[in-house]
Each structure stands twice: as structure tokens, then as C-alpha cells.
Amino acid sequence: VPAPAALPAPTLCCRNNSKSSPLQCILTGRWTNDLGSNMTIGALNEKGEFMGSYHTAVSATTNEIQLSPLQGSQHNTNKKSQPTFGFTVNWTFSDSITVFTGQCFVDEEGKEILKTMWLLRSRVDNLKDDWKATMVGINVFTRLHSKK
């Protein structure tokens, strides 16, 4: 009996596990992070810009948390499959602004994951307090209600 011809080993590829197209990570949709915050990212325009909304689970203030708008952009739309991106959240319930920067990855199970770092700038009353006005951290986002 002739030996079967060698077949290429299957490699992890895409969300739908097909073998030919590159790892695809798409920002548009609903996401949740390790703090329990949720965000929705809208459709990207032709320049890779997007808008959305952010509902934080936590706040540095005692103000009542409200849904807040976000604006951002993704690098190299349609050129690279695991794109870098950044967005700004202008909090409607505080005087603060947060900027996030990160990259959209596909993990070993084919799940999309956003690895981000953020800077949260709070408003302080005077220059002397500037030193305590900025916090830094990381957040990891996974897709909410992902379709299989």
C-alpha cells in the first residue's frame, strides 16, 4: 500500500479556524474588561476612525457613573490582521479623561483579546497638585456575546 502523501500540519489561524486567511481581530462590537467595564465600538470609517461608548464599572470619583462617549482610531485598516489602536474616553460624569492604547490579538483558542494600557487624567485645582493627577494601568478586554 503506498504511503499517503504528506499533508501540511494544520495551524491555528482564525476565529472560524479556517486555515488559509490570517488571524483576524476586529474592534467593532461589544467588549468587557477585567474590571467589569463594558464598551461598544462602532463601525470604522475609511480612515480607521471609530466612535463608541464606555460604561465603566469603577470610578476614582464618588459621582454617579454614566455612559460616556469614546473616540479612537485603528492603525493600518485592512493591512495588518492584529491592529494597534487608541481611543479617548471623555467621562460625562467627571472632569477626567482617559486615553487607552493597545493591540487587538487573537489568542491560542482563536478568541479576540484587546491588550491595553491607559492613562487617566483627573482635574486638580492647582499646579501644585499636578503630581497626583495622572493614574496609569492596564486593562484586558474580551468580546461580549461572541458568535461562534
Residue 109 Cβ vs ligand BTN, minimum distance, rounded to whole Å: 24
The residues in 4-43 that bind ligand BTN, with binding defined as CB under 6 A, are: 33, 35, 37
Q: In this complex, which beta carbon is closest to ligand BTN, that of residue 37 or of residue 40?
A: 37
Cell reading at 81? 490582521
Judged by CB under 6 A, the stretch of 19-27, 51-59, 73-81, 103-111 that binds ligand BTN is: 51-59
- Residue the block writes with cell 486615553: 99
Task: Kindly identify the residues of this chain, within the stretch 59-88, that bind ligand BTN according to CB under 6 A.
Answer: 59-61
Burial 27-65 (b: 16+ CB within 10 A, else e): bebebbbeeebbbbbeebeeebebebbbebeeeeeeeeb
CB of 145 to ligand BTN, least distance (A): 18
Q: Which residues pair with 132 in a beta bridge?
A: none
